[in-house]
Structure 1
Amino acid sequence: MTIARFRSQNCCRLGMMITNFKNKFLGNKEKKRLVINIFSLSVLQGANYILPLLTIPYLVRVLGPDLFGLLAFGTATSMYFMLITDYGFNLSATRQISIYRDNTYKVNEIFSAVMIIKITLMIISLILMSVLVLSFNKFHQDWEVYYLSFGMVLGQVIFPVWLFQGMERMKYITYLNICSKAFFTICIFIFVQNKDDYLLVPLLTSLGYVIAGIISLYIIKKEFDVKFIWQNLSVLKEQLKEGWHIFFSSIAVSLYTISTTFILGLLTDNTIVGYFSAADKIVKAVKGLYAPIAQAIYPMIGKKMHENQKEGVTFIQKTTWIVGGGMFLISTVLFVLADQIVNIMLGWQYAESILLLKIMAFLPFIICLSNIFGIQTMLNLGYKKEFSVFVVIGAALGMILIFCLTPIYAAVGVSVSILLVEMLITIMLGIFLIFKFKKGKL
């Protein structure tokens, strides 16, 4: 009887613990929605990073550092145009949709205006890329790579991720991205058999983006009844103004992120780009662990700040300690196990990538803090201009470092430049918030 009673009591305690956990984390609609969104976006990031990571060990061996570097350079070029067409809408439009999600008229207005601007920017981007390809031999000799990679820009334009985020319905993003990434991954293993098949990589990547974008437009029409309505110039100007500071900051950020691969390709060769890109993809995969949390809490923080600023700031402070601590531990593991990770994932051909991975190992932790301080806090508090200034300062330093260190130290110089710039920006953002906190403005 004693043993039976003991077991009964333990079962009761376990049941109470589970009930308390559910009440604490799923006790209201807001918390439940946050947990579901983080879970959905975590699965999404798994698709975005883990599925492509499955192909990296295969592609780096089949294509070799030279062709792998060429494709990475082509992707980096397309990333510039993706940056232009995004225009900061993934943050500015997300925030607006989260505030006006119950206002059908306003949602239609925001959606239509943003899509008009993005399509216009895409056409301009295609013209600019054509000029680039026709004017410079480095681009002209591999023109197929750049045009095939541009399909990613088209796919990103027609996939309104910002609308799903603002509505806090991330599950749709998850489903579509998993399907597109799975399609890409399976096709890579089936069709890319040797170096002659290298053009299939950007083609399949672009197809995944475009197909997901087309299906997403069908979903927003069916599920949210969002309609495209032609907007007048004043509405378009309003959206351009709303996203300007974020766009300006994104351009500055690109100078020491996207530009690193691009500049490295201009100043060195495809093989060195291959070594750097392989290490960089591993770091980006680790950084992606934080992305679901960042995307899920951004619209929530925006809404909290709009309704109760003090509550929003308290929520951010808790997030910093919990998420920041987790990313620090993960970065430490990445640094300690760099040799083993490179050997398993990339193989002996990429021994040069080990040092690069160690240099960039703590970027996930640093960028996590930077995101919390800058995007989650400063943008939601209205410090858009100040945020832009800090990023521009970091970008200027980054460009100086890259052009000074790359000719001498090649990929090592680029890696060190990225690390120093991210540290500087994070420190500046942190000092600014501490100053505002002491002044009682937070």
Structure 2
Amino acid sequence: MLNLKEKLKPYRTLVSNFTSLSVLQAANYLFPLIILPYVVRVLGPGKYGLINFAVAFIAYFNLISEYGFNLSGTKAISLVRDSKKELSRTFSVILFIKIVLSVFSFVILLVIVYSIPFFNNNWEIYLLSFGMVIGWILFPGWFYQGIEKMKYITIIQVIVRSIITVLIFILIKQESDYLLLVILHSIAQILIGIAGLIVVRVKFHVKFCIPAFIDVKNQFKSGWNIFQSMIAINFYTTSNTFILGLFASETVVGYYAAADKIRIAFQGILSVLSQSVFPYVNNLYQESYQKFKSFIRLLLKIETSIGFILSLVMFIFSYQIADFLLGEKFIVSGEILRIISVIPLIVSISNVFGIQTILSMGYDKVFNKIISSAAIIHLILLLVLVPKYFAVGTAYAVVLTEFIVLLFTFFFVYKRKLV
């Protein structure tokens, strides 16, 4: 027992961070999964599809405001976490940039919503959904991941989402309550964001100060390649619902969104693992290349095993899962879920090669080229498949694109013999 403790000692922080992130992602994935059966039955495929289309549209503005700091910010914080002065400085620069970009994003949203009839018809849902962007911008998840201490904010996340979940069951009673559902989600995200900032100040004594122009410029420059990659990644993930909504009805969007929501919930454990090890892998690469390679090989085995099990369960029980969670009105979602069930396995492998290896070793431009190329291919696939096959076409386009990303990342790592 003593020997086991000694062996696990170097991984204590990693295990603690993984545990906290597991609970945090449970709040992000399981709570929506809990309310999913109720919400889809009350709102129906149409209104549920409209909400998901709005969230997919708003995600573009969040993408601009985030500027890829969920990765570049995490990396920047992890490198200065031992210096209180540099920690405050880096934190201030990143938060300042995010706030400025969010204001810029909101102005763009107003112009689009009030000038284009397609969006003007449902202007309320788009403006109310922007509250989620405000919450996402305020929430310093990148800070907590960078210092590898997620337990504080995890408690806040669970408490707030538990309360909101209860309120949804109490207040959402009919189809016309769809705007109230958006308001509740926005309030939850804003509360989480504010609480996260308070903990940063009170617990870690990090102060916010107006950053110097040169610091802002440098942070913009260092995060540019990752930001471009995030645009491309967003294009073949979140954008699928948005693009589908341009060709298909809100009901069809609802079928696809519901199936994808289940897939994301299943895939949550992989997201937890990826976010947990990213700062650890970055530091390990700086310390020892041999240890880095050994850990990457171990991580590949673990993620692939988890991904295989998740994909197998989703494929075998896709129709049963859809019927149980969504009801008979969403039977089409079962077919979509079976098609996209292979994604967890594909992503489990490409994540290790892409995020954990290529990015951690500083090949930001290479990663950006891979993702950008995949995004272009994905656009072509969507334009070919979606107009004719709608939700099913979208599902096949996503699977093919994820597989292409896997091939690109694998061949780069294999050719360079990085691990």
SS in 2 for 1:229: coil
Aligned to 1:194: 174
Q: CA deviation at 1:79?
A: 1.1
- Residue type at the aligned position of 2:27: A
Give, in whole Å, the separation in 1 of the partners of 2:156 and 2:347.
27
Is 1:37–1:171's contact at 8 Å kept on the other side of the alignment?
yes
The answer to whether structure 1 residue 85 and structure 2 residue 37 are counterparts is no
**Any idea what the Cα deviations from partners look like across 1:366-416, whole Å, max 9, x if unmatched?**
112121111111111011101111111110010001011111000000000
Structure label with greater radius of gyration = 1
Q: CA deviation at 1:33?
A: 1.3
Aligned to 2:74: 94
**Identical aligned pairs, as a percentage?**
40
The answer to whether structure 1 residue 336 and structure 2 residue 316 are counterparts is yes
SS in 1 for 2:108: helix
1:210 to 190, 203, 210: 190
SS in 2 for 1:156: helix
SS in 2 for 1:102: coil
Runs of 4+ in 1 over 4 A off after TM superposition: none
Q: How does 1:19-418 map to 2 (within 5 A)?
A: 19-25=2-8, 28=9, 30-418=10-398
**Any idea what the Cα deviations from partners look like across 1:187-226, whole Å, max 9, x if unmatched?**
1101000112111111000101101111111111111110
SS in 2 for 1:198: helix
Higher mean C-alpha deviation, range 366-375 or range 356-365: 366-375
Higher mean C-alpha deviation, range 284-293 or range 411-420: 284-293
Give, in whole Å, the separation in 2 of the partners of 1:375 and 1:46.
22
Q: CA deviation at 1:354?
A: 1.0
SS in 2 for 1:352: helix
Give, in whole Å, the separation in 1 of the partners of 2:15 and 2:41.
39
Is 1:89–1:162's contact at 8 Å kept on the other side of the alignment?
yes
Q: CA deviation at 1:180?
A: 2.4
SS in 2 for 1:208: helix
Q: CA deviation at 1:21?
A: 3.8
Give, in whole Å, the separation in 1 of the partners of 2:173 and 2:374.
42
Give, in whole Å, the separation in 1 of the partners of 2:159 and 2:66.
22
- Residue type at the aligned position of 1:24: K
Is 1:65–1:272's contact at 8 Å kept on the other side of the alignment?
yes
Is 2:30–2:265's contact at 8 Å kept on the other side of the alignment?
yes
Is 2:270–2:306's contact at 8 Å kept on the other side of the alignment?
no
**Any idea what the Cα deviations from partners look like across 1:333-357, whole Å, max 9, x if unmatched?**
1100001101100010001111100
Give, in whole Å, the separation in 2 of the partners of 1:84 and 1:411.
27
SS in 2 for 1:228: coil
Is 2:153–2:199's contact at 8 Å kept on the other side of the alignment?
no
Q: CA deviation at 1:104?
A: 1.2
Q: CA deviation at 1:138?
A: 2.0
Q: CA deviation at 1:22?
A: 3.3
Q: CA deviation at 1:176?
A: 2.0
- Residue type at the aligned position of 2:338: K
Give, in whole Å, the separation in 2 of the partners of 1:352 and 1:20.
53
Q: CA deviation at 1:232?
A: 1.5
Give, in whole Å, the separation in 2 of the partners of 1:106 and 1:413.
48
- Residue type at the aligned position of 2:121: Q
- Residue type at the aligned position of 2:91: F
Is 2:129–2:182's contact at 8 Å kept on the other side of the alignment?
yes
Q: CA deviation at 1:20?
A: 4.4
Give, in whole Å, the separation in 2 of the partners of 1:161 and 1:76.
21
**Any idea what the Cα deviations from partners look like across 1:219-258, whole Å, max 9, x if unmatched?**
1111111011111211101101111111100101122111
Aligned to 1:11: none
Provide the TM-score with structure 2 as the length reference: 0.98
Give, in whole Å, the separation in 1 of the partners of 2:378 and 2:175.
35
Is 1:41–1:292's contact at 8 Å kept on the other side of the alignment?
yes
Aligned residue-pair number? 419
Give, in whole Å, the separation in 2 of the partners of 1:269 and 1:386.
38
SS in 1 for 2:70: helix
SS in 2 for 1:53: helix
Q: CA deviation at 1:293?
A: 1.1
Give, in whole Å, the separation in 2 of the partners of 1:263 and 1:293.
30
Is 2:138–2:193's contact at 8 Å kept on the other side of the alignment?
yes
Give, in whole Å, the separation in 1 of the partners of 2:233 and 2:412.
19
Give, in whole Å, the separation in 2 of the partners of 1:21 and 1:280.
40
- Residue type at the aligned position of 1:375: I
Aligned to 1:7: none
Higher mean C-alpha deviation, range 299-308 or range 173-182: 173-182
Q: CA deviation at 1:183?
A: 2.2
Give, in whole Å, the separation in 2 of the partners of 1:148 and 1:340.
34
Is 1:52–1:181's contact at 8 Å kept on the other side of the alignment?
no
